[in-house]
Structure 1
Amino acid sequence: MNVIYYLIPVAILFVIVGVIAFFWATKTEQFDDLEKHGLSILMDDDELPTKQESKQETK
């Protein structure tokens, strides 16, 4: 029964940490666009010109 005197403050501490983490995540706009980052891996990056293409452009 004495263990409950330790568990209640630990549980309250976990709740406080969870609430702080939630407000930090919303303040730093972590939840603004949930789909953009998931779809970003499907999009191709712009390819850099090769050495031959860049030589042709300078001539």
Structure 2
Amino acid sequence: MSVLLLVIPIALGLGGLGLCAFLWALRSGQYDDIEGAELRALSDE
């Protein structure tokens, strides 16, 4: 039972870190041009 007192805050911290990373990527424009990335991957240049 005492292990849960350690594991739960670690899991919540990692989840919060992942959420912050997602929000940072969203605000910095990483998901703005999804269709363009598909076309660039298929081009021969």
Query: Does the TM-score normalized on the shorter chain lie above 0.5?
Result: yes
Distance in 2 between residues matched to 1:28 and 1:6, nearest whole Å: 33
CA RMSD of aligned residues (A): 1.4
User: Which one has a bigger Cα radius of gyration?
Assistant: 1
TM (norm. structure 2) is 0.78
Name the counterpart of 1:39: 39
Letter in 2 for 1:3: V
Greater helix fraction, Structure 1 or Structure 2: 2
Bigger RCO (CA 8 Å, 6+ sep): 2
Structure 2 regions of 5+ residues with no counterpart?
none
TM (norm. structure 1) is 0.64
- Over 2 Å off, 4+ runs: 41-45
Q: Deviations over 1:1-59 (max 9, x none)?
A: 110011111011012101110111111101111121121133344xxxxxxxxxxxxxx
Aligned length in residues: 45
